[in-house]
Chain A
Amino acid sequence: MDFAFTQEQKFFKKQVAQALQKAVAPYAASIDKEDLFPADIFRELGRLGYYGIRYPAELGGMGADCVTFTIFAEELARASMGLAAIVTMQCLMGTDFIYRFGTQAQKERVLVPAMKGEKIGTIAFTEPDCGSDLGAIRTRAVRDGDGYVLRGRKLWITNGQVADFVTVAATVNPDKRLNGLAFFLVEKGTPGFSVGQKIEKVSARGAQAAELIFDDCRVPGEALLGEEGKGAKYLNDILAEIRTMIAGLGLGMAKGAFAAGLRYAKEREAFGRAIGEFQLIQEKLAEMEMRLRASEFLTYYAAWLKDQQVPMGKEAAMAKLYATETACFVADQVTRIHGAYGLAEEYPAQRFFRDGRFLLFGGGTSEILKTVIAKETLNRGSSWD
């Protein structure tokens, strides 16, 4: 057993933490307040090469392992949840299907520029009546000569307002539910593709969520990423990684919130002493730090299993569930430590409190994850059987 990061991972963590604390953290409050795409910061991180973190060096990427990618997610969320949502979309879901299934021409046109921050990518699953239940996707893809015609409406699409290309989940046959799913690359400017309303939301502001409309949007045959009907399988290939990444976001945000709570507990005085000297505040600090540690272990354990190429669907579900619930718990406790200042917009506590909620839904709600974990155990037993 060895709980330490490798030398490379330690070095990366130090370097990325420094970069993000300098380039992002000072702007977290204004990113949240303005709820606009932070184009300057996005470009700057692109220049540093972070968007290619998961992809091989041949393509211009960093070829990082899952543990390192998780460190990156953690440090992003510690700095700004809005930016973290934008960047992780760019690094993982927004580009992965093109990396895996795109033609050379598509990769040159969208993937390589995206890795440098010159293009913005996103993925579109959610619809007005379909969230965790992907079998209910109603966006249709109908074969038409060499290509396809897409028709449907997507909601809650991160970066939707500004995206240059979108990986769209659609069905070639709604009756087949999950077995009818396929992914298509749709680029900005394709006739029939438009951006609808922006969704005003309380969490992860700066990562604008938008409605995307596909109104008889014709795409060429090569826009089909992979094969028809295999969409659910392809998604499943990266689902555990997505969940581990979100666990990393939860961990990072919780650490940011904890630091704010600790600072306040030391500074604020009541009844003649710092509130941190009172047992009921100490209890909160102890409870938070303990859960933070447990989240950290579960999260990096899942990432490490992934790097060992061991199946880790259940561990990723546990990491996501535990780390995001811990993030919400920590944010709750930190607003309590801040007293009424936990409500004041000039302090970050209320932002953490709102941002934590963002983590509960994408990648499977906590309710869905509980059923995933339990079913896995019912079918295959647990690791200590």
Chain B
Amino acid sequence: MDFALTEEQEFFRKTVADTIDRMVVPLAAEIDKKDEFPWDLWRDFAKLGYLGLRYPEEIGGMNADPVTAMLFYEEIARGSVGFAQSVIMNILMGTYFIYRFGSEEIKKRCLYPAMRGEKVATMCFTEDQSGSDLAATRTTVTKDGDYWVLNGTKMWITNGPIADMLTILATTDPSLGVKGLNFFLVEKGYPGFSSGQVLDKLGCRGTITGEIVLDHVRVPAENLLGEELNKGVEYLTEILDEVRVMTGAMALGIARAAYAEGLEYARKRVAFGNPIGAYQLIRAKFAEMGTEMEAARLLVYYAAWRIKEGLSCRKEAGMAKMLATETCLKVVDEVTRIWGANAFAQEYNPQRHFRDARFLLYGGGTHEILKDFLGRLLIGKMDAPRGK
């Protein structure tokens, strides 16, 4: 057993933390307030090479192992969730299928520029009537000679309205459920592709989230991202654990940012003649936050370590996402209580953390879905009783 980070990981964490403190933290409140994509920050940040975090050095990446990647996700979310979400979309979900299945031509056109921040990438799962339930995907794809034709509308697409390249989840046959799913690359400018309404949302502002419309979008055969047809769900499974653990790492980042605000306030705010940190009810909050954050952190790193070692991680990833996110929600809640009424003043950060944390509940599986999934793993597969 060894709970310590390696020297490289420790060095990496420190470097990233310094960068985030210098570049991102000072802009976080403004990014939230404006709810506009921070192009200047994006361009400056991309120069540091982090957008190629997970990919091999041969193609210009950093070749970071999963634990190191988690350290990055945690630190950037600590700085600004709105910015982190856009960055991580380029690093992980928005480029993975192109890296894995794209032709050299496609990689040159899309992946390498995305790793340099010259292109914005995204991944499109959600539809109006399908979220966690991917089998309900209604975006269809049909074969037309050498081409594929996509039709449908996607919702809640991170970076959607500004994306240059989109990995689209579509079904060859809705009656096949998850067994009809496939991923296709669509690029900005393809005829029939357009972005619809932009969502005005409570948290994670600064990431532009919106609707994507595919109206008879014809894509060439090589844009099918996958070796075989209708294997989309299997390919998704390859990164699902990593996505879940990543969400857990982001939760740790937000929790740390909020916790630091709470600590500072508890030390300086005076009531009844003492700093409020002198009172047991306030101390108890720190005891609980500290304990739960430590547990969540260990679970997140453990799950990342299992991915790194190539061990099965299905259960641990779900647990890590759920525990870290729930812990984060508790921490941001407690910190707003420590701050009293100042917690809902927009000039301070606690209300932003309080709103931002909610964003983590849904991506990678809601906690209702995860509980059902984990319960099934633990109990064993049984037929689910139908309601009514």
Contacts and interface: CB of A to CB of B under 8 A. Distances in A.
B272 A280 contact: no
Given A343-B358, A343-B359, A271 B340 contact: no
Given A200-B347, A202-B344, A344 B201 contact: yes
Interface of B: 126, 129-133, 135-136, 156, 199-204, 270-272, 279, 281-282, 329, 333, 336-337, 340-341, 343-347, 351, 354-355, 358-359, 361-362, 366-368, 371-372, 386-388
A165 interface: no
Nearest to A336: B361
The 3 closest A-B pairs by CB, nearest first: A277-B387, A200-B346, A345-B200
B358 A353 contact: yes
B388 to A, nearest CB: 6
A354 B352 CA distance: 11
Interface stretch (A44-52, A55-63, A105-113, A131-139): A131-139
Contact of B337 (A133, A201, A279, A366): A366
Contact of B272 (A133, A332, A357): A133
A280 B337 contact: no
Contacts of A365: 337, 340
B202 A353 contact: yes
B337 A136 contact: no
A339 interface: yes
A69 to B, nearest CB: 24
B368 A343 contact: no
B345 A339 contact: no
Contact of A269 (B129, B270, B346, B362): B129
A199 B351 CA distance: 13
A340 B131 contact: yes
Nearest to B131: A339
Given A280-B368, A371-B281, A126 B341 contact: yes
B345 A201 contact: yes
Contacts of B372: 278, 280
A339 B366 contact: yes
Contact of B199 (A203, A272, A280, A344): A344
Residue from B130, B270, B344, B371 whose CB has the most chain A CB atoms within 10 Å = B344
How big is the A interface, by class?
A: 35 or more
Nearest to A275: B368
A367 interface: yes
Residue from A282, A350, A362 whose CB has the most chain B CB atoms within 10 Å = A350
Given A277-B386, A280-B371, A370-B281, A340 B362 contact: yes
B368 A202 contact: no
B341 A361 contact: yes
Contacts of A130: 271
A373 to B, nearest CB: 12
A202 B201 contact: no
B136 A132 contact: no
Interface in A341-360: 342-346, 350, 353-354, 357-358, 360
A203 B358 contact: no
A4 interface: no
A367 to B, nearest CB: 5
Contacts of A357: 336, 343-344, 354
B202 A350 contact: yes
A335 interface: yes
Given A277-B388, A280-B368, A367-B282, A345 B202 contact: yes
B340 A361 contact: yes
Nearest to A347: B202
A336 B202 CA distance: 14
A303 B199 CA distance: 43
6 contacts: A131-B271, A277-B386, A336-B361, A340-B131, A357-B354, A367-B279
A332 to B, nearest CB: 8
A339 B361 CA distance: 8
A273 interface: yes
A98 B126 CA distance: 57
A169 B198 CA distance: 47
Contacts of B131: 270, 339-340
B346 A201 contact: yes
B282 A202 contact: no
B340 A273 contact: no
Given A132-B340, A270-B133, A342 B347 contact: no
Contacts of B282: 367
A328 B341 CA distance: 15
Interface string A225-260: 000000000000000000000000000000000000
Contacts of B347: 199-200
B387 A270 contact: no
B368 A342 contact: no
Contacts of B343: 357, 361
